[in-house]
Amino acid sequence: MLMSQIGFGVKFGNWRCYASSSSSSSSSSSVTQSEDAVHDVNGRFSQRQHIRLGLPSKGRMATDTTELLKNCQLSVKQVNPRQYVAQIPELSNFEVWFQRPKDIVRKLVSGDLDLGIVGLDTFTEYGQGNEDLIIVHEALAYGDCRLSLAIPQYGIFENINSLEELAKMPQWTQSKPLRIATGFTYLGPKFMKDNGLKHVTFSTADGALEAAPAMGIADAILDLVSSGTTLRENNLKEIEGGTVLESQAVLVASRKSLVQRKGVLDTTHEILERLESHLRAIGQFTVTANMRGKSDREVAERVVSHPSLCGLQGPTVSPVFGPDGEVKHYAIVICVPKKALYKSMKLLRAIGGSGVLVSPLTYIFDEETPRWRQLLSTLGM
Ligand SMILES: Nc1ncnc2c1ncn2[C@@H]1O[C@H](COP(=O)(O)OP(=O)(O)OP(=O)(O)O)[C@@H](O)[C@H]1O
Ligand SMILES: O=P(O)(O)OC[C@H]1O[C@H](OP(=O)(O)OP(=O)(O)O)[C@H](O)[C@@H]1O
Ligand SMILES: [Mg+2]
């Protein structure tokens, strides 16, 4: 059967059982454990020493995740794509485990992973509000999509454009509820309940959910949308108030690991610093320009009178010595958002700038990473 019916609020697949059992067929590694003990390949139990990061093994997130780490100078050394364990030589006592995104969340809960990178949608769906799970970086700037309710553009839904209007339709009764097809069997029922929709029933399938309304299997679907092409091609539309969450890749951790496992907090700090410095830098250019002026101060004042030219903390201004040893120009160095490059360049010219050089910016390391302070406070430290 393509789809199986699930009741309102019923949890699918009691995956929490993986956490405590002594054997788990779902685990692709040879390890199955209670808290800290691992059953290694030789059949011996030992204390787990290595810090473990779970990365998506396949699908949309896989390549972008390793690419992001590489851009943070954390290159994942995987011997071949079918080997699920890998190293990051820059991080000592550290293992990468490639897993399906939902298994990364499950294994964080079970204590088999310490850190992970997944989509916020997967984290929220499979984490189910578990207090041990912490979001360390909420915006890794890829894997953007949203979890949205969508209904047909035709028939009884033609003039329905909001969740409120959908809820008020007289068609939905206890005996004939609104049928929603979704892979999000935790978030779906929760969203409907939170929004006060009573007469709702859910069904699930592994993919191509957009076919369900036209096949007569469901009235609506709740699925991930990025470009919106799949919805459009299947004559479906999103509605106002129907977005459950906006998602992108996130770095997540187990609170227990951060607090109890040696080295996890320090390593998380390092990963966070590398991520933040890279992600801050990718939206910016370094701009160098020569400015005519009487003194460094006078040039600086001219530049800072335009807030968009202030850079991070204000311009760096240095004298440019001409062939006669005279200083008639000053070089300024500022950071400029990529989107504002052309506007900034014209502004620089207008205030006496010339020889404007633009180079990519790779990292911005600040005194402190804001998310680190936030993490310590979440941990009560
Ligand atoms: N258009 C999109 N559709 C689905 N996921 C997307 C999309 N854009 C970004 N993502 C992100 O990519 C993650 C992985 O999606 P993907 O479909 O590649 O893997 P999967 O759903 O785990 O695998 P499968 O579809 O084979 O079950 C999603 O959880 C989401 O965070
Ligand atoms: O808004 P769009 O850019 O069209 O993307 C949305 C579609 O992509 C995903 O499906 P996927 O490609 O993962 O196929 P699946 O249904 O087999 O999981 C998602 O489930 C939607 O169907
Ligand atoms: Mg998919």
pLDDT of residue 82: 87
Domain 283-360 has CATH 3.90.1520.10: no
pLDDT, mean of residues 262-277: 96
pLDDT of residue 40: 41
pLDDT of residue 13: 30
pLDDT of residue 18: 25
- Please indicate whether residue 121, judged by its CB atom, sits closer than 6 Å to ligand 2: no
- Please indicate whether residue 60, judged by its CB atom, sits closer than 6 Å to ligand 2: no
- Please indicate whether residue 144, judged by its CB atom, sits closer than 6 Å to ligand 2: no
pLDDT of residue 34: 40
pLDDT above 60 (res 35): no
Residue 333 β-bridge partners: 288, 316
Residue 314's pLDDT band, with cuts at 50, 70 and 90, is: confident
pLDDT of residue 10: 32
- Evaluate whether 14-144+249-280 and 145-246 have a shared fold: yes
Contact 289, 146 (CB under 8 A): no
pLDDT, mean of residues 173-185: 97
The CATH number that domain 145-246 falls under is: 3.40.190.10
Domain 14-144+249-280 has CATH 3.40.190.10: yes
**Residue 333: both structure tokens together:** 């160095």
pLDDT of residue 315: 83
Residue 367's pLDDT band, with cuts at 50, 70 and 90, is: confident
pLDDT of residue 289: 92
For residue range 226-248, list pLDDT tens digits in order: 999 999 999 999 999 999 999 99
For residue range 64-88, list pLDDT tens digits in order: 999 999 999 999 998 888 899 999 9
Q: What is the pTM of this model?
A: 0.85
Ligand nearest to the CA of 100: 1
- Please indicate whether residue 229, judged by its CB atom, sits closer than 6 Å to ligand 2: yes
Which residue bears the tokens 């004042």? 301
Rounded to whole angstroms, the Cα distance separating 215 from 276 reads: 46
Q: Residue 17's Cα: distance from chain center in Å?
A: 27
Which residue bears the tokens 């049928």? 179
Rounded to whole angstroms, the Cα distance separating 56 from 250 reads: 12
pLDDT above 70 (res 28): no
Ligand 1 residue neighbourhood (C-beta within 6 Å): 59-61, 100-101, 119, 121-122, 143, 145, 207, 224, 226, 247
pLDDT of residue 368: 82
pLDDT above 60 (res 43): no
Tell how far the Cα of 152 is from the centroid of ligand 1, in angstroms: 22
State the Cα angle at 146 between 126 and 238, rounded to 5°: 125
Residue 4's pLDDT band, with cuts at 50, 70 and 90, is: very low
| Percentage of the chain exceeding pLDDT 90 | 72
For residue range 183-230, list pLDDT tens digits in order: 999 999 999 999 999 999 999 999 999 999 999 999 999 999 999 999
Name the least confident of 170-184, 208-222, 358-372: 358-372
For the four alpha carbons of 227, 137, 264 and 20, in that order, the dihedral sign comes to negative
pLDDT, mean of residues 79-107: 95
Closest ligand 2 atom, residue 60 Cα: 13
**Domain-by-domain residue ranges, the chain?**
14-144+249-280, 145-246, 283-360
Ligand nearest to the CA of 102: 1
